């Protein structure tokens, strides 16, 4: 058994991206967590459609996403980003760290359709109204898939937020 399986983490870590990992941002929130000194602090966390785990957003990664998609984190929803594992000097030691590649990934139609199907299924489970408006034509191009997916993601996020209250 792997040690990471014995002590699962709520957040992504460098070992989760040994090979590049391209994901779709589903939301950015803040969460309270323990600081190194034991006090509590609020940190931004980015979540992805394809992962159950979020990623604690440090300044380096926040700047990278901001340079690609703008300063408003709400505008990041539906955007794709690639995570990689790199070695960094942290606290005087070389450690593996998660970093976003500073270039938007190329969208491929197969991945976009797969994501849309999963999102559509989730919307159906949540009882989102007017799902017909989010159905795709068999010949839909990548940009149409992305635009319809963004609109559907907003509906799914709203339904999930409503259910969690």
Q: Over the stretch 18-27, which tens digit does the pLDDT of each residue have? A: 888 889 899 9
Residue 54: name the closest of 115, 20, 93, 98 by CA: 98
Q: What is the pLDDT of residue 92?
A: 87
Q: Select from 72, 100, 128 the last residue of a domain.
A: 100
- Give 103's contacts (C-beta < 8 A, 6+ positions apart): 68, 82
Residue with tokens 């901001």: 66
- Kindly state whether residues 92 and 121 are assigned to the same domain: no
- Kindly state whether residues 49 and 124 are assigned to the same domain: no
- Kindly state whether residues 91 and 153 are assigned to the same domain: no
- Kindly state whether residues 9 and 84 are assigned to the same domain: yes
Residue 86: name the closest of 73, 102, 70, 99 by CA: 99
Taking the C-alpha atoms of residue 18 and residue 134, their distance in angstroms, rounded to an integer, is 35
Residue with tokens 């929130």: 29
Summarize pLDDT for 38-97 with one digit per residue, the tens: 899 999 999 998 888 999 999 999 999 999 999 999 999 989 899 999 999 888 889 999
pLDDT band at 111 (very low <50, low <70, confident <90, very high): confident
Question: How many structural domains does the chain have?
Answer: 2
């Amino acid at each position: 058994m792997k040690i990471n399986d014995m002590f699962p983490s709520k957040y992504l870590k460098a070992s989760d991206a040994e090979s590049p990992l391209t994901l779709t941002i589903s939301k950015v929130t803040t969460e309270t967590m323990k600081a190194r000194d034991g006090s509590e602090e609020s940190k931004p966390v980015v979540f992805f459609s394809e992962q159950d785990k979020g990623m604690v957003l440090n300044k380096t990664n926040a700047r990278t996403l901001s340079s690609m998609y703008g300063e408003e984190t709400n505008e990041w929803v539906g955007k794709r980003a690639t995570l990689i594992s790199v070695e960094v000097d942290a606290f005087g030691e070389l450690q593996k760290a998660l970093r976003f590649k500073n270039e938007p990934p190329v969208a491929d139609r197969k991945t976009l359709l797969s994501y849309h199907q999963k999102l559509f299924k989730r919307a159906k489970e949540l009882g989102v109204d007017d799902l017909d408006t989010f159905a795709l034509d068999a010949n839909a191009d990548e940009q149409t898939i992305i635009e319809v997916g963004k609109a559907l993601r907003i509906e799914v996020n709203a339904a999930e937020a409503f259910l969690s209250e």
